[in-house]
């Protein structure tokens, strides 16, 4: 599969394609045209064909895509088969909500452990995942390769926790702290979920209607 440098906008759309194809496969859809897929995603067919062309040849002119095949190919592009691992920094309510309800494995990640400083949490398990003390992080990492750290610590603890993850050599940080992380090592990818940005976009949309 040929790979060019891919734009951030394409990287954002790939997971949406994957999600929609997963839904379609579950509903028993076997084949789909790029225009039908596009319509269901508020995109154009040529946009989808162009995005996918970054990664090689998909589908057959005039016959559309085989849903299962395209889904599998996008899964591979997204790295779902790489055996990625994750740990969670911060086993408070947000951390616990992710451990209990978020399907890490469906997204190609094995969740190994959570870390916290709260003595009421350390030593317990949440949905089978052990909660270890922050101080055990480096020892744990020496024994278990960690692909990414999920950051669900309180805002004031974000910078220090991110720094520790970077020094451990993680490849990525999934940042839920609603704060901007400055990570000097550009080989560590930071993906932030900004709740504010999302709510403000909604605020704009409902204000526009008034």
Residues that bind a copy of itself (CB under 8 A): 3, 6, 8, 11-12, 14-16, 18-19, 23, 42, 77-80, 82, 84, 92-94, 96-98, 100-104, 106-109, 147-148, 154, 171-172, 174, 178, 180, 187, 189, 191, 193-210
**DSSP, res 92:** S
Q: Which is nearer to a copy of itself, 23 or 139 (CB)?
A: 23
Are the beta carbons of 124 and 118 closer than 8 angstroms? Answer: no
Q: Which is nearer to a copy of itself, 77 or 122 (CB)?
A: 77
Give the Cα separation of 120 and 82 in Å (integer): 35
Closest C-alpha to 89, from 135, 55, 44, 58? 135
CB of 185 to a copy of itself, least distance (A): 12
CB of 76 to a copy of itself, least distance (A): 9
Helix (H, G, I), strand (E, B) or coil at 116: strand
Q: Which is nearer to a copy of itself, 117 or 200 (CB)?
A: 200
Q: From the DSSP assignment, how many helices (H) and strands (E) are in the chain?
A: 8, 9
Q: Which is nearer to a copy of itself, 26 or 63 (CB)?
A: 26
The backbone region for 205, taken as left when phi is positive above 0, alpha when psi lies in -120 to 50, beta otherwise, is alpha
User: Alpha-carbon torsion 159, 132, 112, 102, what sign?
Assistant: negative
CB of 21 to a copy of itself, least distance (A): 12
Q: Which is nearer to a copy of itself, 42 or 57 (CB)?
A: 42
CB of 32 to a copy of itself, least distance (A): 16
Structure tokens at 100: 């209990």
Closest C-alpha to 111, from 123, 120, 122, 100? 100
CB of 207 to a copy of itself, least distance (A): 3
Q: Which is nearer to a copy of itself, 5 or 63 (CB)?
A: 5
Structure tokens at 111: 């969740």
CB of 166 to a copy of itself, least distance (A): 13
Are the beta carbons of 158 and 141 closer than 8 angstroms? Answer: no
């Amino acid at each position: 599969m040929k790979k060019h440098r891919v734009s951030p906008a394409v990287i954002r759309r790939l997971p949406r394609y994957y999600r929609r194809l997963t839904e379609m496969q579950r509903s028993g859809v076997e084949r789909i045209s790029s225009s039908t897929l596009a319509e269901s995603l508020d995109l154009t067919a040529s946009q989808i064909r162009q995005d996918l062309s970054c990664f090689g040849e998909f589908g057959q002119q005039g016959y559309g895509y085989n849903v299962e095949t395209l889904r599998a190919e996008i899964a591979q592009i997204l790295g779902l088969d790489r055996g990625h691992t994750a740990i969670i920094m911060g086993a408070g309510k947000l951390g616990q909500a992710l451990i209990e309800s978020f399907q890490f494995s469906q997204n190609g990640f094995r969740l190994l452990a959570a870390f916290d400083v709260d003595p009421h949490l350390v030593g317990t398990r949440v949905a089978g995942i052990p909660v270890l003390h922050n101080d055990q992080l480096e020892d744990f990492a020496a024994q278990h390769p960690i692909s990414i750290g999920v950051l669900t610590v309180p805002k004031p603890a974000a910078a220090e926790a991110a720094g520790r993850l970077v020094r451990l050599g993680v490849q990525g940080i999934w940042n839920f702290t609603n704060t901007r992380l400055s990570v000097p090592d550009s080989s560590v990818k930071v993906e932030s979920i900004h709740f504010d940005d999302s709510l403000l976009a909604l605020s704009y949309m409902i204000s526009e209607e008034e």
